[in-house]
Amino acid sequence: MKRILVSGGAGFLGSHLCERLLNEGNEVLCVDNLFTGRKVNVHHLMDNKRFEFLRHDVTFPLFVEVDQIYNLACPASPIHYQFDPVQTTKTSVIGAINMLGLAKRLKIRILQASTSEVYGDPEIHPQPESYKGSVNTIGIRACYDEGKRCAETLFFDYHRQHKVDIKVMRIFNTYGQRMHPNDGRVVSNFIMQALRGEDITIFGDGMQTRSFCYVDDLIEGMYRLMNSRPGFTGPVNIGNPGEFTMLELAEKVLQITGSKSKLKFLPLPQDDPMQRQPVIDLAKKELGWEPKVQLEEGLTKTIAYFKHAIS
Ligand code: NAD
Ligand code: UDP
Ligand code: UDP
């Protein structure tokens, strides 16, 4: 049994991770400032004696005793990370420094939840880990993208300079139950709009693509990476290579919900990446991991969750 710190543990992915780690018999210290996370996400874990919730902002130092750290604290949806962009960069950069300082003092392993956004609006398709990315440093997405890029730099410098045992994971768009209904991300937006009979908001012409990973697959990849062989640091892509346009996604959501919602075309936000698909050869080779849940099955489960959540 290990005592494991999960920063951002009350968020969408963090809450699933806390649950998984408890199921494996560990103690979990969930650290979250509840900016985008919600206590209700971990409400069902509160009675577990091996679970502890600590309201804390990772931009401040934290002195606790743990055996492992998963660093997930950071808003992930554009509307949330653009709400207070300076705080977003601080969370990624200063948050990483504090979590790495903690890992260094305790001589423990630490995993960083990085993102496919480090590739920006990619000129190479699909994206292998060796692609260095194309990010507009002064655009409205940069607070997130550059914060995450700098966090990766800090992870590798703490590894080289202080021998910290690191694992870096580049997460591609993930969806599933416990996404906030008003999170603003495309999957939750389309499902909520379809269920309420509202117009489906397509940004731009809807021909931009994303590759969507179901949350259970993602958590399995994250767990395997944390427990991978010593010396394997990543970065490693974790995502589902199935690539869809936003129009295709809207069609699928309309078909599964049976909704009569109409499509409404709105302007494309600045710097919105046109395409995104992971190369997952490294995850297959090092972690024996590949996604199992394809989009239709994952959407069906997610739609059932949202129906229940809003009823
Ligand atoms: P989320 O917004 O649901 O969760 C983020 C959590 O971090 C929230 O609980 C929030 O309250 C907490 N948080 C934010 N700032 C904090 C701070 N300063 N101190 C402490 N806690 C703070 O988002 P998510 O989808 O669960 O994302 C989790 C992690 O995975 C993030 O680091 C995100 O960048 C990364 N990621 C997610 C996706 C995805 O598609 N879901 C894709 C790429 C990367
Ligand atoms: N830190 C922390 N908890 C710890 C150890 C360090 O929050 O248990 C913070 C510490 O406040 C510092 C940061 O992590 O700001 C980086 O620590 P490091 O030891 O690398 O740097 P230094 O303290 O030498 O500036
Ligand atoms: N998008 C959309 N309608 C929405 C929300 C998002 O068409 O209501 C588009 C958005 O412009 C982007 C894609 O869907 O091209 C994915 O957006 P999301 O915010 O989910 O993730 P990210 O852009 O960070 O990959």
The whole-model pTM stands at: 0.98
Cα 181 to Cα 45, 111, 192, 303, distances in angstroms: 21, 28, 7, 11
Residue-wise pLDDT tens digits, 175-233: 999 999 989 999 999 999 999 999 999 999 999 999 999 999 999 999 999 999 999 99
Q: What is the pLDDT of residues 107-137, one digit of tens each?
A: 999 999 999 999 999 999 999 999 999 999 9
Give yes or no for a contact between 96 and 107, defined as CB atoms under 8 angstroms apart: no
Q: Contact at 8 Å (CB) between 238 and 303?
A: no
Q: Which atom of ligand 2 is nearest to the CA of 60?
A: 7
ipTM rounded to 2 decimals? 0.98
Stretch 29-40: mean pLDDT? 97
Cβ(101) to ligand 2 under 6 A? yes
91 Cβ below 6 A of ligand 1: yes
Q: Which ligand is nearest to the CA of 266?
A: 3
- Which pLDDT band, with edges at 50, 70 and 90, does 311 fall under? confident
Residue 196 and residue 216 in contact, taking contact as beta carbons nearer than 8 Å: no
Closest residue by CA, ligand 1 atom 15: 74
Residue 299 has pLDDT above 90, yes or no: yes
| Best probe residue, ligand 1, of 5, 60, 72, 236 (max atoms within 8 Å of C-beta) | 72
What residue type is assigned to position 201 of the chain? T
Please compute the mean of the pLDDT values over residues 13-34 and round it to a whole number.
Answer: 98
Write the DSSP assignment of 211-243 as a string of letters: E-EEHHHHHHHHHHHHTSPTT----EEES---E
| Per-residue pLDDT tens digits for 3-14 | 999 999 999 999
Rounded to the nearest angstrom, the distance between the alpha carbon of 75 and the centre of ligand 1 is 4
End-to-end CA distance of the chain: 39
What tokens were used for 251?
């069609």
Over residues 48-65, mean pLDDT: 98
Q: For residues 288 and 225, is the Cβ–Cβ distance under 8 A? A: no
Q: For a substitution probing ligand 1, which of 16, 19, 29, 35 has the most ligand atoms within 8 Å of its CB?
A: 35
